[in-house]
Amino acid sequence: MPKLLTQAQIDRFHEDGFLAPIRVMSAADAAEYRRHLEAFEAQAGGPLKGELRHKSHLLFTWLAELVRHPRILDAVEDLYGPDLLCWTTNFFIKEKESPAFVSWHQDSTYWGLSRPDVVTAWVAFTPANAGNGAMEVIPGSHKLDQVPHRDTFGKHNLLTRGQEIAVEVDAAKAVRLDLEPGEMSLHHVRLVHGSPPNPSNDRRIGFAVRYIPTNVAQTAGEDSATLVRGTDRYGHFELEPPPAADLDPAMLALHKKIAERNARILYRGTGVESYNDPRGVGLR
Ligand SMILES: O=C(O)CCC(=O)C(=O)O
């Protein structure tokens, strides 16, 4: 008996490679997440950037809570079973009137994970729609094997290497994933997806949480993950503790070490070594 999705939704995920929209919290709760983010940014003097955009659930208690949100986990359990790790999280923030975009890509390309049993819960803190650069997907493209990509390191590309798919994408088949604050989409790690810039007068903020069942391993180096539900009987990843407080100094140090190690996996073969390298991420 599924916990949150219907059997028809589960079948559709396996057929199309995505599901949306799924409400996981109220619009007011999503606004509260945005408020937390923007309170930090106001104090820091600018938008969250560099390595702070990645694995931010190790730095902020409110994001540690979000990656363990029961409704998100129920949906993910319906797809991948009861033993779940949060492998990573990434903020995808497009500032108002900004040229930032995401090229067509498959998430699996540089992640080094042993099997394509990986799902992203993309949680909307603001609306995402035609007016502000919502994500678009090519239904069924997750059934392709890994497709070749080329790195562009494009200045406005929000992906780590600005990677883009090196084969023709039939954009006429694309489906836009419109979301209201507090809704999420789910997408498979091999699904071809991307998103255009945000010409609107407000930010578009999404928090992408990458979940794997505990039997998936990292093949490209040492790695860590957060056990968010069930039991880890495999031990493929060093398990990460939750933060006791926002920006707890011990967690800041651990996060830095983990970010450096992750960057070595994600940028392998490029000469870029850190999320903060100007050739790499900039505002990503
Ligand atoms: O936020 C976007 O527009 C793209 C997100 C994305 O590529 C992802 O979550 O894998």
* One-letter-per-residue 3-state SS of 113-165: ECCCCCEEEEEECCCECCCCCCCEECCCHHHCCCCCEECCCCCCECCCCCCEE
What per-residue confidence (pLDDT) applies to 110? 87
- The values of phi and psi at residue 105, to 5°, are -160, 165
From the CA of 102, how far away is ligand 1's center (Å)? Answer: 7
Is the torsion defined by CA of 93, 95, 139, 182 positive or negative? positive
- Closest residue CA from atom 1 of ligand 1: 92
For position 280, what pLDDT does the model report? 55
Q: What pLDDT, on a 0 to 100 scale, did the predictor assign at position 153? A: 87
Position 281 pLDDT exceeds 70: no
d(CA 184, CA 21): 6
**CA–CA distance from 75 to each of 68, 72, 263 (Å)?**
12, 5, 29
Pocket test for ligand 1, best of 101, 120, 176 (most atoms within 8 A of CB): 120
Could you tell me which residues are beta bridge partners of residue 226? 86
**What is residue 279's predicted lDDT score, i.e. its pLDDT?**
63
Give the atom of ligand 1 at the shortest distance from the alpha carbon of 134: 3
Pairing type for strands 238-239 and 224-229 reads parallel
Q: What is the pLDDT of residue 53?
A: 93
The pLDDT-based confidence of 248 (bands split at 50, 70, 90) is: very high
For atom 8 of ligand 1, the residue with the nearest CA is 208
**Which residue's entry shows tokens 């039997």?**
215
Please name the residues in contact with 169: beta carbons below 8 A apart, sequence gap of 6 or more. 104, 138, 192
> What pLDDT score was predicted for residue 206?
98
- Ligand 1 cavity residues, CB under 6 Å: 92, 102, 107, 120, 122, 135, 193, 195, 206, 208
Give pLDDT tens digits for 73-126. 999 999 999 999 999 999 999 999 999 999 999 999 989 999 999 999 999 999
What pLDDT score was predicted for residue 163? 85
Cα 207 from Cα 185, distance rounded (Å): 11
Beta strands in the chain (DSSP E): 18-23, 84-94, 102-105, 119-124, 136-137, 149-150, 164-165, 175-176, 183-188, 193-195, 204-213, 224-229, 238-239
Residue 284 predicted with pLDDT over 50: no
Taking a C-beta distance cutoff of 8 angstroms, is the pair 97, 162 a contact?
A: no
Q: Are strands 102-105 and 193-195 parallel, antiparallel or unpaired?
A: antiparallel
Contact between 5 and 72 under an 8 Å Cβ cutoff? The reply is: no
Question: Cβ contacts of residue 150 below 8 Å, gap of 6+?
Answer: 163, 164, 166
**pLDDT band at 255, cuts 50/70/90?**
very high
For residue range 206-220, list pLDDT tens digits in order.
999 999 999 999 999
